[in-house]
Amino acid sequence: MALSDEQLDQLRAKFGRVGVVHFEGHEFVFQQPNQEHGRFFRRGVAANDPDVADNLAAQLIVAMDGEAAPEPKEREPLRLAFRAWLKTRPLAMDNAFFAPVLSELLGQVEEGGVQKKDGCRVLSSTPTTSLTG
């Protein structure tokens, strides 16, 4: 099951950009990381932590299979489901769908670097309405 366009727009309004990955019949939506997430990722890379991408993705996931959890206090069941899925696919975060989305969200590639293709995309923030027209 996938989120509706309206639900995706709500997540974009809350987080700015969101990354969407469709893989093996599942939909995963990741929030725009903040500076704390970036530091977490850098420390993991520097420490040669082989699970740093998995752990970062688990921190950033805000929806899976049509179930959204935009508030941090609501996310634990979502994270547990995501981690259970990852246990059966140990290299999923390195594949051609997840890796480009996480890289763009982190700012490792230029915005718009992930072209919309089958399976993954990054949605920019919802346009804001100007008071002057």
Q: Is residue 131 part of a domain?
A: no
Residue 76 CB partners (closer than 8 Å, separation 6+): none
Number of CB atoms found within 10 A of residue 51's CB: 12
What domain range includes position 90? Answer: 5-123
Q: Is residue 30 part of a domain?
A: yes
Q: Is residue 130 part of a domain?
A: no
Q: Residue for token digits 């804001």?
A: 128
Q: Is residue 17 part of a domain?
A: yes
Q: Give the per-residue pLDDT at 116.
A: 59
Q: Is residue 132 part of a domain?
A: no
**What CATH number should be reported for the domain holding residue 36?**
3.30.2220.10
User: What does the alpha-carbon distance between residue 91 and residue 16 come to, in Å, rounded to a whole number?
Assistant: 27
What is the Cβ-side half-sphere exposure of residue 80, based on CA atoms within 13 angstroms? 4
Helix (H, G, I), strand (E, B) or coil at 92: helix
Q: Is residue 128 part of a domain?
A: no
User: What does the alpha-carbon distance between residue 59 and residue 19 come to, in Å, rounded to a whole number?
Assistant: 13
Q: Is residue 129 part of a domain?
A: no
The H-or-E segment that residue 122 falls in is strand 120-123
Classify burial at 70, counting beta carbons within 10 Å of its beta carbon; exposed 0-12, middle 13-18, buried 19 or more. middle
Q: Is residue 110 part of a domain?
A: yes
- The total number of structural domains in the chain stands at 1
pLDDT by 10s per residue, the chain, length 133: 899 999 999 999 999 899 999 999 999 999 999 999 999 999 999 999 999 999 999 999 999 999 999 898 999 999 999 999 999 999 999 988 899 999 999 988 877 767 656 678 888 775 554 444 4
Confirm whether pTM is higher than 0.75: yes
